[in-house]
Amino acid sequence: MATYVILSTLTDEGRKTIKENPKRIIEVNKELEKMGIKVKEQYSVLGPYDFVNIVEAKDNEAVMKMSFELGARGSVQLMTLAAIPVADLVKMLK
């Protein structure tokens, strides 16, 4: 499984949804599980992004499919970064 960092920003519609139904965040995580994306860590943050998620997925294609699925709803904008553990990077560079 590969690790990814997902930075997300809610749209106005997304903020309205979360305000009316905060549990929607957990519901989306369950939807991600069905898509093969496992949410390992999730944080609500201050600044230009609303959430930082650490997820695991089979490959880039699975994450891309998830990104299009969520993005098409119009409630969130995503930036996804592939993450390599530093220990693995050190091994690769030797």
Does the predicted TM-score (pTM) go above 0.75? yes
pLDDT score, position 91: 94
> What pLDDT is recorded for position 25?
95
> What is the spatial distance between Cα 46 and Cα 92, in angstroms, rounded to a whole number?
34
The range of the structural domain enclosing residue 50 comes to 2-93
**Residue 76 belongs to domain with CATH number:** 3.30.70.920
Calculate the CA dihedral of residues 57, 58, 63, 69 and round it to 10 degrees: -100
Residue in 76, 69, 65 with CA at minimum distance from that of residue 24 = 76
**pLDDT tens for residues 59-91?**
999 999 999 999 999 999 999 999 999 999 999
Mean pLDDT of 9-17: 96
Tally of structural domains, the chain = 1
Residue-wise pLDDT for 36-66, tens only, equals 999 999 999 999 999 999 999 999 999 999 9
